[in-house]
Each structure stands twice: as C-alpha cells, then as structure tokens.
Amino acid sequence: MRRNKKDRQVLLTEMIETNPFITDEELADKLEVSIQTIRLDRLELSIPELRERIKMMAEKKMTDDIKSLPVDEIIGEIIDIEMDHSAISLLDIRGEHVFKRNGIARGHHLFAQANSLAVAVTNDELALTAKANIQFTQPVHEGDRVIAKARVMDVDKEKGRSQVAVRSYVGTTLVFKGEFNMYRATTMKKDEWT
C-alpha cells in the first residue's frame, strides 16, 4: 500500500531522527519509493544528505567535547578526537596557503594545524602552548591533503602540563612533526603565564 506524500515525509523525518546515519537507499527501501523520491522529500523538508548530517553531528560533538577553544578557531577539520588521548584533523592546501612562485605551502599553516590540534585534544578550559619543538620534513603543495595526528604522551595534572606529539602526513609521507608542551590552566597559577 502506497503512502501519501505527507505521511511518507512524516515517516522519513522520524526515521532520520531515530537513525541519522540511515542512507537514502535504506530509506527508499523501507518506504518503498525510489531514491529520487527520498532526495526530493529531503530537499523539500530541508533535511541534509547523509554526509552533511554526519558532519553536523561531528561538529556538535566537537563543540560539546572541546573545552580549550571554539571549534571554528581550529585550523583544519577535526575528524576524530578522544580528549587527553588522540585526535586527527584534515587540512586541504589551497591557493591561499601556498607561495605563489612555487606552489609550496607556507609553514605557518602546517604549524597552525598541528598546534591547534594539540590545544584541542587537551581536556582543559584553557590550554596554551608553552613550548614546541617542530620539524618540517617534506614540502607540501597546493592540492595536497594534510592529515595531522595528535597523541597525548603525558598528562601531569600536578604540574599543569601535557606533552602532545603531532605527526602530519600527505598520503603516507611524513611532512611535519612536532612535540608540544602544553600548559593546563586548571592548575596553572596566574604568575606562571604573565
């Protein structure tokens, strides 16, 4: 038995609210309509496609989890984070990131991606970079996708410090590595950072 459009759209909305990861194909199968009908219904209801729903949920989770800085201040797109443990971000290198004469990425963009990831993974209201030991290992070019991986190596809450290692790759090639010594504000005295 075919449902009318209004009933179908109510069911579609309920199904997506129950399982935001449901695909258009699965919705079409369950509602016994074409994939195109599902896409038109989503468009009419202003429900984004699966990829956008996943991105929105990830951003909400990041906003809820990350205490040290607003998500929109992070350089690159965080795709995974476990506070005080590890994090991964992506940065697509575009024209504004490179030197015009040779198409090679400016180092401060790679540093900013790694540093903001080290700050974000630090589970504290205010995390500040105290010291960084960095090395650029290969040039990065316009069109490259840089994947930065952070791992918290040590958390010393008594001293108010964390050690975060960040490795950045283009494909499997290591292009940047850094060791970040982070202040943790919850135990930091004001005279330590003035």
| 163 closest CA partner among 184, 148, 194 | 184
Whether the Cβ atoms of residue 135 and residue 178 lie closer than 8 Å to each other: yes
What digits encode the pLDDT tens for the residues 91-143?
A: 999 999 999 999 999 999 999 999 999 998 988 877 889 999 999 999 999 99
Using DSSP, state whether 166 is helix, strand or coil. Answer: strand
Q: Which tokens belong to 165?
A: 């290692």
What digits encode the pLDDT tens for the residues 45-55?
A: 888 887 777 66
